[in-house]
Amino acid sequence: MVMREALAKKVAWISVISNVILTVGKIVIGWYGHSDAVFADGIHSAADVFASVIVLLVIKISNKPADKEHPYGHGKAEVIVSEIVGILLFLVAIYVAFEGISGFFHEVESPSLLAMWVALFSFGAKVLLYRSSMKVANENNSKAIEAIAYDHKADIVASIAAAIGVFLTIIGEKFDIHFLLYGDKAASVFVAYLIFKIAKEMMTEAFDILLERNIDSEILQEYIAVIKDFPEVRRIDRIRAREHGHYILVDLRIAIDHFKTIKEGHDLAKSIKGALMDQNDNIREVLIHLNPYFPEDK
């Protein structure tokens, strides 16, 4: 738990520092270099900074053990953060889209070549940050770190789109190709779409978890296979599982022979719980209810 928290903080701090540098660079160069696309990408990076700071604040909470007031733990704190980041990105997408579309109705200024190089540098940096963040998120099943990784993912395509947009506008001005002059504006609208898409995915996933949607059927089948390895289990009456942030809670109802003693039922339930948790290290708790099984139930 301590290592998981330390890794999450490390990823968040790296994200904060890198995004601050990229934010300043892209906003300043985008503004003075007359590139709406690079400026919009800078606004997105500013949102990333805010998201990373929120994650830093919530990581300690989400890793706290269960207590009297929160018997299921604090894992959903990360899900709430993911939802907040998604909403933030959604608002950013609306702003960027508005600025990009309005740019089509104003006189076009050709962006500087420096703006394109800044966007390309951002692209390379974000590829590295996304891969490293997603690796840590998968290894630790962290929704908070995954939110940071998705932010980086949105920036990857956004940065390369911004670079292409700047390049097309410069080409349009040099060779007097009128429609290419709006390449930068079109790129900024495309960046807005990418940000919106990522925001929608994040908000939808977080909303489903907060509503305690059942986990994927494929994962449930894996749990069922483990349970069926116990011959004492006559029937699985119900199985449910829900994500609680970075861990999973499982509810199970099984039928065993009616003549089994309470101790035998207890020992069986303990064994099933242990087997499930051994095979799936992201399961935090397994609640098992025992039903009596009679031969005529077949």
Domain ranges, ordered by start, for the chain: 2-210, 217-297
pLDDT at residue 297 in the model? 62
* CA atoms of 178 and 165, how far apart (whole Å): 14
Q: Which of 73-82, 154-163, 192-201 has the lowest mean pLDDT?
A: 73-82
Sheet strands (E) in the chain: 235-243, 248-257, 283-293
- Which residue has better confidence, 208 or 265? 265
Question: Is residue 242 a contact partner of residue 283, using CB atoms and an 8 Å limit?
Answer: no
pLDDT at residue 215 in the model? 78
- Which residue has better confidence, 65 or 265? 265
Q: Which of 19-28, 68-77, 139-148 has the lowest mean pLDDT?
A: 68-77
pLDDT, mean of residues 143-156: 77
> For the domain 2-210, what is the CATH code?
1.20.1510.10
On the question of pLDDT at 212 being above 70, the answer is no
pLDDT at residue 66 in the model? 64
pLDDT at residue 238 in the model? 92
pLDDT tens for residues 88-116? 888 888 888 888 888 788 777 778 889 89
pLDDT at residue 216 in the model? 79
Residue 186's H or E segment, with its range, is helix 183-210
pLDDT, mean of residues 163-172: 89
pLDDT at residue 73 in the model? 59
Q: What is the mean pLDDT of the chain?
A: 82
Could you tell me the sign of the dihedral formed by the alpha carbons of 187, 189, 193, 195, in that order? Answer: positive
Q: Hey, do 2-210 and 217-297 end up sharing a CATH topology, with the first three levels equal?
A: no
| The CATH homologous superfamily of the domain defined by 217-297 | Cation efflux protein, cytoplasmic domain (3.30.70.1350)
* CA atoms of 212 and 207, how far apart (whole Å): 9
pLDDT, mean of residues 263-279: 93
Torsion, CA 106, CA 107, CA 112, CA 118, rounded to 10: 10
pLDDT at residue 249 in the model? 86
